Structure 1
Amino acid sequence: MKIGFVDVTITTSYGGIQTAVWELAKALADLGHEIFLYGGEGDIRHDVASYAITVRTYPYTPREKVINLGRRFQRIVERLSMARHARKAVVKDDLDWVILTKPFDFFWPHLMPASSKTRFCYMSGGTSFFRFDRRLGKRIDAWVACSEFNAWQIQHHFKHFPHVIYNGVDINKFTPATGNIRHTLDIDDDKFLLVFAGRLVGWKGLAYVLKALALLQDERVRFLIVGNGEEQTKLQAQARDLGVDKQVIFHEPVAHSALPAFYRSGDAGIFPSTGDEAFGITIAEAMACGLPVIGSYIGGIPEVIGNEGSAGLLVSPGHPEAIAAAIRKLVEGGEYRRTMGHNARQRIENLYTWQHSALRLLSALDK
């Protein structure tokens, strides 16, 4: 089949949805399909040179330059501005399916000529609902979600229960291979290193990890934060106020291809979200590197980690005492921690690879 992904952000920014598009594109190409990616003018490219993938980019008006009548309005205008330039190519490419990743793009079926054979699939990775999206959604032919939790969100809003395809991990890139970069981070081997990678926004819950470190009072523990965002200055000030700033390392964002080395440097991953993560690709990537993980019991995170306590520990969101107890359990249980890390890798291999996702997506489109 000829399958296209339309999302202005896939060539202009990094994130879970963007990673899912690029990785699914490669997995689908491996299965023999011809893939087209349509994004905004930008420099972001994943390594797809050896795949049957065509990348097309178009001018667009960034949301920051759109009159502020609400963030959702800005994002819709941003996407419409790209569609104005991309429509002709999408029609000409005569695709079998177009995958849309946000309801903000639900106008696309209405842009196609009546003679077009192209059908549209919504691949959800969250919510991002807005007024009138149900009406626009009537032209969507297939619905898929990245977790059972996310499927429930979509069913509740749109009254369509999606096929669950789950997100995945490139298990050849994210591996427990030997070698790490502790020496470049100036972290001694005898320290217990927690690793987080992602955007520094409030709902990621990092403030509660800092509070947990203050409760622990354990000089062996270090916390590596890879990323930036609006909360960074506030988190740095909080670390100083709590007296744990010497235990916390703030590191600038790194390319997706560089993340495995950071995870391999750690003893455990920690992802204490207080918001409804639909899946949590970064959690799965850390697990694929052989790390036990601590995650919040919220959204789709329990589906990634599992409820059994064999691949990671789930804690109540926004609960520093529970986070501190989970950290202490991993610090003091070396063999327990190593077994859990092995189980984490096996869970990702068995359930959450991009090939799994691609096959589930194709099954959903076929139905």
Structure 2
Amino acid sequence: MRICLLSYRGNPYSGGQGIYIYYLSRELQKLGHEVHVLSGPPYPEVADGITVHKLESLNLYESTRRWWQEIPRLRNPLRLYEFLAVSLGTFPEPFTFSIRAYNHLRALMPEVKFDIIHDNQCLGWGVLLMKRLGVPVVATIHHPIPVDRRLALSQAKNLWDRFRLMRFYSFIGMQNRVSRNLDRIITVSENSAEDIHRILKVRRNVLRVILNGVDSDFFDNNGKFPKEPNSLIMVSSGNGHIKGLPFLLEALHKVRQEIPAKLTVVGNGSPDGEPTRLIRKHGLADAVTFTGKIDKDELARLYASTEIAVVPSLYEGFGLPAAEAMSCGLPIVSTNAGALPEVVGKDGKAGLLVPPADPDNLAAALKCLLLDKQLGSNMGNTGRQRVLENFSWRQTAVNTVRVYEELLDAHS
């Protein structure tokens, strides 16, 4: 089968979507399929033998150029739209990438005939145009973005902040309409499937749940690194508020009144806004380290040298950091938001679950594991076994191919 994967931001360090593209494409290729990836910047890392089609964009969110330096690049109407949309505070990438991908595929199809097109939560208008190419189109929706908007709005400080957020998330209407017009949608948890049906109004009969995997050979509890006493780790590739960082900082302050715990936050850059205020307020500057972007090897080393992984998110469509930490044999303290109970388990054997946005219960769970090292060790071993039994990228790929075959049969 010749498969085309679409990802408007494909780099693994851009978040879970980039990790999904890397491992899914690798495992599909191992199953004997020919895999192409169409991506905008930052471009993906892929295994040898996978063809990457790099679609250019202005990439204004990472550009260091001044606005007037962009003018020579705006002769193309789509680039002009992208520039104006970003300047007005919206997020045009899903739309602009989908149009570029459609144009690229339309030009490519006479020479390279794809059997399936698989969109990775772009859901732009161009994805619907691709159906005109005579190729079945499936999309993965990791979770419904309206949830992110609702959580962001709930923490807005004033009307101006609410206006800016509504303007940024204005692409949601497009994604809602596109998702309702696709024949199959893959999602990564039962909780996400329910939310996609309820919020996006996608029909249940087109939804297919396929769990994400974990690279359990790479993320392993090999014992090569000594554990730093009373150490915590949180991995956050997205918005710190939605990921629950302020609530974790409040909990850390409470924990440190009894135990000298230290926290490492892995993610995109240094804190700003509320996290910075809380660190100053509670005197946590020496207790919290922000790594910024790091590679996979460094992440595995940090997991291996840390005692407890914390996932304080207000919502997760899956919760890949929790699964990776479990694979490394770490006990988990997590909220019960979104799909996290599906990943960590509801029985308390691999981790402790607490309500979201609840620093008191979060602090109590952390103190429980920090004071009972044997309990943490037992949970870590159970978590590792849970990953081996439930979260395999190869099985993710096998199940994904079944959806492709189902869709091809329906189109034949």
**How high is the TM-score relative to the length of structure 2?**
0.79
Asked if 1:194 corresponds to 2:244, the answer is no
Q: 1:243 to 1:133 in 2, by over 3 A?
A: closer
Asked if 1:326 corresponds to 2:369, the answer is no
Alignment of 1:151-166 (within 5 A): 151-156=193-198, 157-161=200-204, 162-166=207-211
What root-mean-square deviation, in Å, do the aligned CA atoms of Structure 1 and Structure 2 show? 2.4
Alignment of 1:300-339 (within 5 A): 300-339=339-378
Q: 1:356 to 1:106 in 2, by over 3 A?
A: farther
Distance 2:308 2:109 in 1: 44
Q: Which one-letter code corresponds to 1:149 in the other structure?
A: N
Moved more, 230-239 or 324-333: 230-239
Alignment of 1:114-129 (within 5 A): 116=134, 118-128=135-145
Alignment of 1:282-301 (within 5 A): 282-301=321-340
Distance 1:293 1:316 in 2: 14
Distance 2:384 2:186 in 1: 25
The superposition leaves residues 262-313 of structure 1 with CA deviations (integer Å, 9 ceiling, x where unpaired) of 1111101001012x21001111111111101111111111111010000011
Asked if 1:59 corresponds to 2:56, the answer is yes
Distance 2:115 2:351 in 1: 40
Contact 1:208 1:272 in 2 (8 A): yes
Distance 1:151 1:70 in 2: 30
Contact 1:61 1:78 in 2 (8 A): no
Partner of 1:170: 215
Deviation at 1:78, TM superposition (A): 4.2
Q: 1:134 to 1:230 in 2, by over 3 A?
A: same
Moved more, 253-262 or 292-301: 253-262
Distance 1:248 1:133 in 2: 37
Contact 2:94 2:124 in 1 (8 A): no
Percent identical among aligned pairs is 25
Deviation at 1:7, TM superposition (A): 1.5
Partner of 1:71: 90
Contact 1:12 1:42 in 2 (8 A): no
Q: 1:236 to 1:134 in 2, by over 3 A?
A: closer
Deviation at 1:234, TM superposition (A): 4.2
The superposition leaves residues 161-212 of structure 1 with CA deviations (integer Å, 9 ceiling, x where unpaired) of 2111011111111111122387xxxxxx4x2111112235211111112211
The superposition leaves residues 197-255 of structure 1 with CA deviations (integer Å, 9 ceiling, x where unpaired) of 22352111111122112222134311111223574464244222112322222222201
Contact 1:12 1:41 in 2 (8 A): no
Deviation at 1:70, TM superposition (A): 5.9
The superposition leaves residues 313-358 of structure 1 with CA deviations (integer Å, 9 ceiling, x where unpaired) of 1111111110111011101111111010001111111001111211
SS of the residue corresponding to residue 107 of structure 1 reads helix
SS of the residue corresponding to residue 14 of structure 2 reads coil
Gaps of 5+ in 1: 183-188
Moved more, 152-161 or 134-143: 134-143
SS of the residue corresponding to residue 123 of structure 2 reads helix
Deviation at 1:141, TM superposition (A): 2.6
Alignment of 1:82-97 (within 5 A): 82-89=101-108, 92-97=111-116
Contact 1:123 1:143 in 2 (8 A): yes
Contact 2:11 2:19 in 1 (8 A): no
Contact 1:11 1:40 in 2 (8 A): no
Moved more, 1-10 or 339-348: 1-10
Q: 1:139 to 1:63 in 2, by over 3 A?
A: farther
Q: 1:241 to 1:82 in 2, by over 3 A?
A: same
Distance 1:128 1:92 in 2: 36
Partner of 1:100: 119
Alignment of 1:31-42 (within 5 A): 31-42=31-42
Partner of 2:68: none
Distance 2:241 2:270 in 1: 8
Gaps of 5+ in 2: 62-82, 147-171, 407-412
Deviation at 1:86, TM superposition (A): 4.8
Q: Which one-letter code corresponds to 1:125 in the other structure?
A: H
SS of the residue corresponding to residue 203 of structure 1 reads coil
Deviation at 1:100, TM superposition (A): 0.7
Contact 2:41 2:57 in 1 (8 A): yes
Moved more, 85-94 or 23-32: 85-94
